[in-house]
Amino acid sequence: MKERDSNIELLRIISTLFILIVHCNGWFLREWGGITTWSAGEGMLVGLTRSIIQSITCIGVDVFILISGFYSIKPKLKSIVNLFTILAFFYIGTYLLDVVVSDVTFTWRTLIVNLCAFSRENWFIQCYLFLILLSPILNAFVENYSQKPLLIYILIFLACAFYFGNIHDSTYFYFNEGYSITTFILIYLVGRYLRLYGMNNFNTLSKYKAFFLYILSVAAIVFVRFISKNEAQWLNYNSPLIILSALLFFVLFTKISFKSKFVNMLGASCLSVYILHTCSPIINWFAEYDVYIFTQFPFPLYLLMMLGGCIVIFILAIVLDKIRYLIVSPVLRVIDKLKLMSYE
């Protein structure tokens, strides 16, 4: 088996932490505490710092899909079964935990709903599953297109996604402000183009220039957040600015190269981190902790404690996922030997 590129696995780890941080700094405070980025009484410095943090970390999901596109998804029964076991393990485990520690009443129906993991409501997982199923078609499409027509197609797709998904907000195209399979297809195609053609343009770019361009993209995102009355209209996952920032951040990590089994081990379990922190009661505890430390401690201390909470969730999810893998690995090895749905 080819060893994973540790620089990209490190990028996967950082993008996962980005997702945790942007949820803490934005979603959790807003939904659980009623605290917006520019809430009155926080002060301009706090609001600006939070805006900068959000502008840096909002690319986490796009980076995840870019990585999938860059390396291409090749559906295998083993991979799909492995994904199912991750979902079922965390969904059922957190449900039983919720029953034990909360006022949630156990029902077999809810247990079965969690066992039918792919149909449980989770926008990212369901979109990613559909992306896996579509990937052979997308791969064939990209590989049979020449560079220039493919680039033109992606640019038109990107313009339509931004206009119909953000400006016009058309229901029929189902861009859903970036939370959709349509957006995942677009970002996946960008990743495939980057792998097949785009890296030729970026190989001559030094890591310092790449970093400078990335910082400029972050500054542009901060500026849009500052001047816009409806920043969500301009900064969704299908926004060209967010995709560009994710692309530059990805390119930055291609400028380094190293091998680390430890980093690769962590990177292999990053999806579990996302799943765990969005499951009840973990998400409620995490959000309540986030609101509490924001309201009870000075802002610099809040940032340190928030980052510490993200790291704890990350480590916990990794440990649990390794336990899960030990349980299911015999089954996965048998499936792998059968070579069902294999591209090898």
Tell me which of 94-98, 197-201, 293-297 is least confident.
Answer: 197-201
Indicate whether 40 pLDDT > 70: no
**Phi-psi group of 131: left, alpha or beta (phi > 0 → left; psi -120 to 50 → alpha; rest → beta):** alpha
| Tens digit of each residue's pLDDT (9 = 90 or more) over 122-180 | 899 999 999 999 999 999 999 888 889 999 999 999 998 888 887 777 777 777 878 89
pLDDT the model gives residue 234: 81
Instruction: Indicate the average pLDDT of the chain.
Output: 91
Distance CA 13, CA 267 (A): 6
Q: What is the DSSP string of 45-58?
A: HHHHHHHHHHHHHT
Query: What number is the average pLDDT over the span 246-254?
Result: 94
Least confident of 171-175, 200-204, 313-317: 171-175
What one-character DSSP code corresponds to residue 173? T
Neighbouring residues of 35: CB distance < 8 A, sequence distance ≥ 6: 29, 42, 291, 294, 295
Q: What is the mean predicted confidence (pLDDT) over 265-291?
A: 96
Q: Are 33 and 295 in contact (CB under 8 A)?
A: yes
pLDDT class of 269 with cuts at 50, 70, 90: very high
Tell me 24's DSSP state.
I
Task: Specify the DSSP element, H or E, that contains 165.
Answer: none
Nearest Cα to Cα of residue 120 among 99, 94, 82: 94
Whole-number pLDDT of residue 204: 79
Dihedral sign, Cα of residue 234, residue 239, residue 241, residue 242: positive
* 330-342 per-position pLDDT tens digit: 998 888 877 766 5
Q: Where are the alpha helices (DSSP H) in the chain?
A: 6-22, 29-33, 44-57, 60-71, 77-101, 108-115, 123-143, 147-162, 181-193, 199-202, 207-227, 240-254, 261-267, 270-277, 282-296, 299-338
What band does 217 get if pLDDT is binned at 50, 70 and 90? very high
Instruction: Determine contact, residues 239/162, Cβ cutoff 8 Å.
Output: yes
* Residue whose structure tokens are 């500026």: 223
- Other beta carbons within 10 angstroms of residue 4's beta carbon come to 18
Helices 240-254 and 147-162 pack at an angle, to 10 degrees, of 130
Q: Identify the pLDDT of residue 1.
A: 46
**Residues contacting residue 79 through CB under 8 Å, at least 6 positions apart:** 132
d(CA 324, CA 8): 24
Q: CA angle, corner 237, sides to 179 and 48, nearest 5?
A: 120
Length of the chain: 344
| Residues 185/138, Cβ–Cβ less than 8 Å | yes
